[in-house]
Each structure stands twice: as structure tokens, then as C-alpha cells.
Amino acid sequence: MGFEETWHHLSLGFSVALSMQNLFWCFIGVLIGTAIGVLPGVGPTATMALLLPITYFLTPEGALIMLAGIYYGAQYGGSTTAILVNLPGEASSVVTALDGYQMARQGRAGPALAISAIGSFFAGTVATCAIVMAAPPLTRLAQQFAPADYFSLMVLGLVLAVVMASGSIVKAIGMVFLGMLLGLIGTDVNTGNTRFTFGISDLFDGIGFVIVAMGLFGMAEIIKNLGDNERRDLVSSKVSGLMPTREDFKRSWPPIVRGTFLGGLLGILPGGGGVLGSFASYALEKKISPTPEKFGKGEIEGVAGPESANNAAAQTSFIPMLTLGIPSNAVMAMMIGGMMIHGIVPGPQVMDQKPDLFWGMIVSMWIGNAMLVILNLPLIGIWVKMLLVPYRLLAIAILFFCCIGVYSLNNLWSEVLFMAMFGMLGFIFVRLDCEPAPLLLGYLLGPLMEVYMRRAMLLSRGDALVFFQRPLSLAFLIIAVIALAVVIFPNIRKAREEAFQE
């Protein structure tokens, strides 16, 4: 795209996005988004559904700007609870909770939250630029992916889940398998058969991610903390500064850049690439780091990279929706709904027929990110103060929010019960020193992997070689094997050394 054209688009976009009305709706959107991101359970999809009727009364631009603001606002909010109380509200915040929460326990919640916000803002800016300048070619790139390629990407994702683990590799592998099995509970879309449901209709659509995450992370953490007699309060007596130190910044900016590119690229894939962004970034940072064993104990790279990745992915996931009318996830499907309510049919013609809407929305995404940083940075002080509430009371509040959050999803009390079961299971995992993160990843990626495997086999008429014949697929599988080998061999050597020492 020529420089003049880009300039023209940008100025059009700014003129739309900077109108008083649209600025206002942008602000409302990110504000609501942050609020629901912080509240466990209620997610952006549910909120957008609630507000969809209200958007009737707005202009199309205002409506979409607000809805978009809710979406990436929720990303910021979700990281907040992940860091503060180990409650990831969205798939993308799971990874943030790993090191972010540990940083909070060491009294460094402030820097964690700050780097998270700053990294997200950088990622949002770069992603928005990418959309402005390269939306069509990026879309074409995404279109190159066939089911076989998606399958291999998922396999790579699963291997990354094992790589991410800081404890025993064998246990991590087992957790991944277990997670995948749990993810299979429900209706098998390809055949309509139900699996592992025992005839309970509430299980026909599987157990929701939020339920598993809140049980395994949130509830388990509460039980563990309440039982820990030696526990210091969540914030050790000296809270060291709210802002990141110069050292923090120096260590963070490379992961932020790397995470942005990883997440940005993976987010374009309509088939579910976005969810991989933060995991891939975490695995990458851990591999590159001179001190990989410190990951999982509060390394700031483990927050900076994934947070940037997931915000970049959130922004670029708009691309297939804007250019082709294909939603990458449930939130984008909502956005399409929002467009159609205003009589705008999403598809390739939106860019040409409604340029003010198209470019206005894209520019407002950047403005929304800016608003979020301005909103969230001062809030850090308030959040950290909240941590000073005695844990005996905080735990009760967290439990309540988890319960009502889960109930708010589908008004099904059975889901609250499932969460209780996962809470128990999560606590058992804590006692067994098994990490829940690989299980969650297996849970997310397993069913996806199966869908793509079957689709690829169907299209190739039963020829399994297709996974090796397509260059993209082969590349992913090779990377997966290498990553696995890099992780396993040192362990085998270590185990051998230990055996020799005995």
C-alpha cells in the first residue's frame, strides 16, 4: 500500500475516531471491559451480548468502537486478576498468572502490572500499524493455512505446553494428556456422539474453560493459602515500589518486542492461533533466558512477553473479521452481530464501501489502548492496596466472585458444582506438585487438534502423509520435535547423572 494511500486512510480514521462521540464510546467500552475483565467469570462475550441491544441507539462507528473497547479492555483486566490473585479470566491470561502471581507474592505486583500494561500498549500500537499497512497481505498469509497446517501448529502448541513447565517433565506430559482428555468431554462435533458425558445434558457442550481455570487456579490457590500456616500475607511486609525499576525495563523490552511479533502473527489465524500467542512467547523467553530455572518463580520476562503477545493477538484477530467477515473467535462473532444489527454486512466490501467505519475502528483501537494505559497505571496503586486486605477476608471475597462468576455464564448450578470438583482436583495437584498450566493448554488445544486432524484426513481421503507433504505443516512438526528434544535430553542426562551419583 502506497504511503499516500496509507496517509489518507489514517487521516480518515483519525477524523472519525477523534470525534467527541466516538471518543466517549471508546472510553465507556474500555472502562466496562476492564471492569469485567477483573470480575472472574463474566467475560467480554457475555457483556457484549448484554450490550448488543443498546448499540442499536448508537451510530455504527460508535457501537463497534465500544464493543471493540470492551474486548481488549477485558484483556487488560484479565491480566490484573491473574497477577494479583492467580485467577486467569481468559485463556490468554493463564500464562501471565504463572510468573505474574509469583511476582505479586514477592511484593512486586506493581511492576508486574505496570510492565503488563506498557507491554500491551506497545503491542497494541505495533499491531494497529500492521493492520493499517498490511491487512490484505496478512489476510492472504492467513489463508495459506489448511487444516493439516493448523493440526501441526496445535501439536507444536502442545509441545510448548510441556516446554513451559518448570517441574518434572513427565508430570507435565501427563497433565497435558489429562487436559486433552478433559477437553474431549462433550459432543464430538464431527459425528454428533457424546463423549464422557454420562448422559448429563449440561455436559453436552463440554466443561467451560472458565470453570476449569477458576477451579484449578483460583479455588485451589484459596484452599492452599488458607491451609498454609506459615503463609505470609499476599504482599510481603515491604512492598517494593509500584513502578518497574530501570533493570525491569531493560529486561522487559526484548520480550515485549518478541512477544508482539509472535502474538501478532499467530492472532491472524482464524482457526485459533491467537490462544497460542502467549504460550509461545513464554516458551520462547524461557528457552532464550540464561536462567530458565527461575521461570515460574517471578521472572519479569515471563510477564512482559506473554502480555504483549496476547494483546497483539487480540488486535490482529480483528483482521479476518474486518477483511473477510470471518470471525476468529466468539468475540469477533459478536462484533459481526453488532455490524449486522446496523445493516452492515461484513465481508470484503466493507473496506471499500464503508471506509470511515473501517479505518475509524482501526484507529480507535489504538486510541483505546492508549486510554487503557492511562486508566490502568494509576489503578495499580489501588490494586496493590487491595492486596493488603487480610487474606482471611480476601479469600472469601474471591470465592464468592468465582461462584457467581461461573453461575453468570449459563445460570447452571451444575457448573458451580463442576468448579468445586476442579477446585478439589486443583488442590490435589498442588499437593502432588503438578502444574495446572499444561493441563489447561491440553484442554484448549486437544479438541482443536482433533478437529483439524479429522478434517485434514477427510480432505486427503485418508492419506496421513498430508501432514508431511504440506511445507507449513512439516515445518511446525519439525520445530515441535526439536523443541521436545531440547527439553528431554538434558533431563535424561541429568537423570543419568543422578543415578550415577547414587
Partner 1 sequence: MRRRSFMALAGIALAAGAVPLAEATAADWPDKPVKVIVPYAPGGATDLLARPWGEALSKAFGQQFVIENRGGAGGMIGAEATYKAAPDGYTIVFTPNAVLSVLPQLRKTPYDPSKFEPIARTGDLVTGFVIHPSVGVKTFQEMLDYAKKNPGKLTYGSAGLGTATQLRIEALKMKTGVDILHVPYRGSADALNDLLPGTIQMMNEINVLPHVKAGKLILLNINHANRSPDFPNVPTLTELGIKDADVPIWYSVWGPPGFPKDIALKLNKKIIEIAKSDDMKKRMRDLNTEVPIQTPEELAAYLKTDTARNAEIIKAANIKLD
Partner 2 sequence: MKFRAGQDFATGMLFALFGAAALYIGADYSMGTAQRPGTGVLPHILSWCLVVTGLVLILQGVIAESKVVRSALPTILISSLVAAALFFGGPVIGISEAWATLPVVIGCLVMMEILLPGTAWRPLAAVTIATVVFGIALDDLGLVITMILTLTICAAGTPETRWREYFMFLALMLVLGVGTFVLLLGMPIPIWPVRIPHWLFFLQR
Nearer to partner 1, 48 or 398 (CB): 48
- Could you tell me the three cell numbers for 389? 486486605
- Cα-to-chain-centroid distance, residue 467: 27
Query: Residue 501: which residues within 8 A CB-CB, separation 6 or more?
Result: none
Residues near 397 by Cβ (< 8 Å), separated by ≥ 6?
A: 389
* Partner interacting with residue 280 (select from partner 2, partner 1, none; CB below 5-8 Å by kind): none
Cβ atoms < 10 Å from Cβ of 496: 10
Q: Which region, judged by CB under 8 A, interacts with partner 1, from 157-165, 213-221, 343-351, 387-395?
A: 343-351
Footprint on this chain of partner 2 (rule: CB under 8 A)? 42, 50, 168, 170-171, 173-174, 177-178, 180-181, 184, 188, 190-191, 193, 195-196, 219, 222-224, 226-228, 390-393, 395-397, 399-400, 402-404, 407-408, 411, 413-417, 419-420, 423-424, 427-428, 431-434, 446, 450, 453-454, 457-458, 461-462, 464
Cell digits for 281? Answer: 512467547
Please, which residue, 345 or 464, has the CB nearer to partner 2? 464
Minimum Å gap between C-beta 180 and partner 2 is 5
Q: From the CB of 332, what's the least distance to partner 1, in Å?
A: 9
Is 56 an interacting residue with respect to partner 1 (CB under 8 A)?
Answer: yes
List the single partner that 237 binds among partner 2, partner 1, none, CB under 5 to 8 Å by kind. Answer: none
Q: Residue 194, interface with partner 1 (CB under 8 A)?
A: yes
Measured from the CB of residue 49, what is the shortest distance to partner 1 in angstroms? 4
When CB distances are held under 5 to 8 angstroms depending on the partner's kind, the choice from partner 2, partner 1, none that residue 413 binds is: partner 2
Q: What value, to the nearest 5°, has the Cα angle with vertex 244 and ends 243 and 245?
A: 115
Strand pairing class (186-187; 194-195): antiparallel
Give the count of residues interacting with partner 1 (CB under 8 A).
48
By CB under 8 A, residue 191 contacts partner 1: yes
Q: With binding defined as CB under 8 A, does residue 163 bind partner 1? A: no
What cell does 476 get?
Answer: 511446525
Binding residue for partner 1 (CB under 8 A) from 112, 312, 326, 437?
326
Determine the Cα–Cα distance for residues 32 and 61; give it in Å rounded to an integer. 18
Provide the CA 321 distance to its chain's centre, in angstroms.
18
Cα–Cα distance for residue pair 369/374, rounded to 1 Å: 9
Three-state secondary structure call for residue 195: strand
**CA distances from residue 343 to 22, 60, 338, 346, 498 in whole angstroms, order as listed:** 19, 9, 9, 9, 68
Of the pair 256, 350, the CB lying nearest partner 1 is at 350
Task: For the CB of residue 184, give the shortest distance to partner 2 in the complex, in Å.
Answer: 6
Segment near partner 1 (CB under 8 A); pick from 71-79, 92-100, 220-228, 320-328: 320-328
Q: Which of residues 438-497 bind partner 1 (CB under 8 A)?
A: 451, 455, 458-459, 461
Q: How far is the CB of 218 from partner 1 (least distance, A)?
A: 24
Residue 117 vs 219, nearer CB to partner 2 = 219
Which residues in 391-420 contact partner 1 (CB under 8 A)? 410
Instruction: Return d(Cα 94, Cα 289) in angstroms, integer.
Output: 20
Residue closer to partner 2 (CB basis): 20 or 432: 432
Instruction: Give how far Cα 143 sits from Cα of 20, 268, 363, 378, Å.
Output: 37, 9, 24, 41
Distance, CA of 48 to CA of 50 (rounded, Å): 5
Q: Which of 320, 368, 426, 446 binds partner 1 (CB under 8 A)?
A: 320
DSSP 86: S
Whole-number Å distance between alpha carbons of 372 and 154? 32
Residue type, 202: D
Q: Should residue 166 be labelled a site residue for partner 1 when binding is judged by CB under 8 A? A: no
Residue pair 395/412 in contact (Cβ under 8 Å)? The answer is no
Interaction of residue 210 with partner 1, rule CB under 8 A: no
Q: Where does this chain touch partner 1 (CB under 8 A) — which range of 279-287, 344-352, 359-367, 437-445?
A: 344-352
Selection from partner 2, partner 1, none that 232 binds (CB < 5 to 8 A by kind) is none
Task: Say which entry of partner 2, partner 1, none residue 53 contacts (CB below 5 to 8 A, set by partner kind).
Answer: partner 1
Residues recorded for the chain: 502
Tell me the DSSP string of 69-84.
HHHHHHHHHHHHHHHH
Q: Which is nearer to partner 1, 192 or 378 (CB)?
A: 192
Residue among 87, 92, 129 nearest 104 (CA): 87
Q: Is residue 325 near partner 1 by the rule CB under 8 A?
A: yes
Q: DSSP for 422-466, please give it.
A: HHHHHHHHHHHT--HHHHHHHHHHHHHHHHHHHHHHHHTTT-TTH
The single residue among 1, 54, 189, 482 that binds partner 1, judged by CB under 8 A, is 189
**Nearest distance from residue 44's CB to partner 2, in Å?**
14
Is 355 among the residues that bind partner 1 (CB under 8 A)? Answer: no
